[in-house]
Amino acid sequence: MNILLLTSEFAPAMGGIGTYAGEIAAAATRLGARVTVVAPDYGQDNAGRDRTLPFEVARFAGGLHSMKELPAKMLLARNKVREHPYDVIHAADWPFFIPVALSRWQTRARVLMTVHGTEINETQTPLKRFAIRSAGVFGPRTEIVANSRYTRDLFRERFAVDAGQISAISLGVSDFWFGERRDRADIRAGLGLAPERLVIVTVARITHRKGHHLTLAALARLPERLRQRITWLVIGPNGEADYVNELQRLIETANCDVRLLGPLPNEEIRDIYGAADLFCLTGLPDSSGRVEGFGLVYLEAGAGGVPSVATAVGGVPDAVLPDQSGILVPPDIDSISAAIARFAENDELRASLAAGALAHARALSWERCAAATYGLARNERPAPQAEVVTA
């Protein structure tokens, strides 16, 4: 199978869509497909990095998408579609929807488009809807892939498409997150954490919609005997300055052990998962229209055997299975606090959810995602095991 995948986000830029494009391309390659990824160059030479990838990367001049770049993407898509007799043309994100739609008459290939969540709301302006309709973007030849059941249902609410035209295919978790990590006791010692501490970790940009303030308020409501057992490690870059400042102010008065570690390399995050007991990310609905289309970070934690307390927003219920790989609650402080207390006070529950989180992460591989998306035969291989390196 010969696949052309076009994306407006890709390494070295960080982000969920770039992760999706890179991982599904690599997985499809492992399943025997020939994949070409068309991606922006971000104004730099990426040749060294691209040569390490198992698929071909064709860079174009550009960076983060703006509508003024749409004509250039239309020309780019037309030229790329003509280059080879592709079996699949895949627009990995919405900036390539119109360019690919306008190029589909030049190929007999299957035409796929992936929707991730937020962009469904962002395309509801009259001008964008007119452009989408005029280009026949979601016409009968277009197959739509959603990253969760929530995203699928949101798309069908916003666009009138046949139910058989859109599929919900959950994302996968990279083998990296099952890879070698340092010994749990060594990691804790390095962080100054006693063996008996209950360690909660959050990995997310510190921004309002990720709900750090809800987690903090939930911790503050715990009985003192529980609160004094817990350390909360917060990993991620700062978002809105006013939100970050307010969160820091609240931390100073919360009488909780909270440590803002900032952004860390993935290798360090993987080690910290090995030292943690619980992953907690309590997002909430956002008035801007941004949504949590899936929640890949819950699976990455699960690959380290770390279960989650999560709020049931967006596509998170596909990433966290309630009472199997974590505890799923409404986005309110009392519910989050009760879930943390339940987890902290029940050793049997902690062990059961840890095993379930690891099993769920193993089940959702990128090979499974690529096979379901492209119709590739899936190679059966042993599920990855979490590895520990002792000093």
The C-alpha atoms of residue 378 and residue 372 are separated, in whole angstroms, by 9
Q: Which helix (H) or strand (E) holds 28?
A: helix 16-30
- Pair (212, 296) in one structural domain: yes
Predicted confidence band at 383 (pLDDT cuts at 50, 70, 90)?
A: low
Q: Is the pLDDT of residue 197 over 70?
A: yes
- Pair (12, 129) in one structural domain: yes
- Pair (297, 270) in one structural domain: yes
- Pair (280, 308) in one structural domain: yes
- Pair (143, 188) in one structural domain: no
pLDDT over 90 percentage in the chain: 81
Which tokens sit at 189?
């010692």
- Pair (101, 180) in one structural domain: no
* Residue-level pLDDT at 16: 84
The C-alpha atoms of residue 112 and residue 5 are separated, in whole angstroms, by 9
Q: Which of 338, 345, 347 is nearest to 225 (CA)?
A: 345
The C-alpha atoms of residue 141 and residue 157 are separated, in whole angstroms, by 20
* Residue-level pLDDT at 288: 78
Predicted confidence band at 384 (pLDDT cuts at 50, 70, 90)?
A: low
In angstroms, the first-to-last Cα distance of the chain is 45
Boundary-marking domain end, from 135, 168, 201: 168
- Written as one string, the DSSP assignment of 218-281 is HHHTS-HHHHTTEEEEEES-B--HHHHHHHHHHHHHS-SEEEEEE---HHHHHHHHHH-SEEEE
- Pair (225, 248) in one structural domain: yes
Q: Is the pLDDT of residue 389 over 50?
A: no
- Pair (139, 202) in one structural domain: no
Alpha-carbon separation of residue 62 from 5, 20, 66, 90, 175 (angstroms): 17, 19, 10, 19, 30
Say if 390 falls within a structural domain.
no
Predicted confidence band at 4 (pLDDT cuts at 50, 70, 90)?
A: very high
Q: Is the pLDDT of residue 257 over 90?
A: yes
Q: Is the pLDDT of residue 236 over 50?
A: yes
Say if 375 falls within a structural domain.
no
Q: What is the CATH number of the domain that holds 122?
A: 3.40.50.2000
* Residue-level pLDDT at 244: 96
Q: Could you tell me which residue, 5 or 387, shows the higher pLDDT? A: 5
Going by the DSSP 8-state scheme, the letter that residue 383 receives in this structure is P
Domain count, the chain: 2
Q: Is the pLDDT of residue 20 over 80?
A: yes
* Residue-level pLDDT at 178: 95
pLDDT, mean of residues 128-144: 89
The C-alpha atoms of residue 244 and residue 259 are separated, in whole angstroms, by 13
165-175 residue pLDDT tens:
999 999 999 99
* Residue-level pLDDT at 162: 84
Q: Write phi, then psi, for 2 (nearest 5 degrees).
A: -110, 115
* Residue-level pLDDT at 311: 96
Predicted confidence band at 390 (pLDDT cuts at 50, 70, 90)?
A: very low
**CB of 24 within 8 A of CB of 369?**
yes
- Pair (226, 284) in one structural domain: yes
Q: Is the pLDDT of residue 127 over 80?
A: yes
- Angle, alpha carbons 339-282-364 (nearest 5°): 90
The C-alpha atoms of residue 346 and residue 364 are separated, in whole angstroms, by 27
Structural domain for 55, as ranges: 2-168
**CB of 336 within 8 A of CB of 327?**
no
pLDDT over 70 percentage in the chain: 97
Say if 378 falls within a structural domain.
no
Predicted confidence band at 386 (pLDDT cuts at 50, 70, 90)?
A: low
pLDDT, mean of residues 10-28: 91
Say if 230 falls within a structural domain.
yes
The C-alpha atoms of residue 303 and residue 157 are separated, in whole angstroms, by 33
- Angle, alpha carbons 335-336-339 (nearest 5°): 85
Boundary-marking domain end, from 105, 139, 168: 168
Say if 102 falls within a structural domain.
yes
Which tokens sit at 95?
């900036």
- Pair (309, 243) in one structural domain: yes
* Residue-level pLDDT at 387: 53
Say if 6 falls within a structural domain.
yes
- Please count the other Cβ atoms lying within 10 Å of the Cβ belonging to residue 54: 11
- Pair (306, 261) in one structural domain: yes
Which tokens sit at 78?
């037309």
* Residue-level pLDDT at 388: 47
pLDDT, mean of residues 320-347: 95
Going by the DSSP 8-state scheme, the letter that residue 56 receives in this structure is E
Say if 279 falls within a structural domain.
yes
* Residue-level pLDDT at 144: 96
Q: Write phi, then psi, for 39 (nearest 5 degrees).
A: -145, 160
211-233 residue pLDDT tens:
999 999 999 999 999 999 999 99
**CB of 295 within 8 A of CB of 315?**
yes
- Please count the other Cβ atoms lying within 10 Å of the Cβ belonging to residue 244: 18
Alpha-carbon separation of residue 174 from 12, 27, 103, 171, 362 (angstroms): 17, 10, 32, 10, 10
The C-alpha atoms of residue 6 and residue 65 are separated, in whole angstroms, by 13
The C-alpha atoms of residue 362 and residue 385 are separated, in whole angstroms, by 8
Q: Which helix (H) or strand (E) holds 295?
A: none
What is the chain's mean pLDDT, rounded? Answer: 92
Q: Could you tell me the pTM of the whole model?
A: 0.89
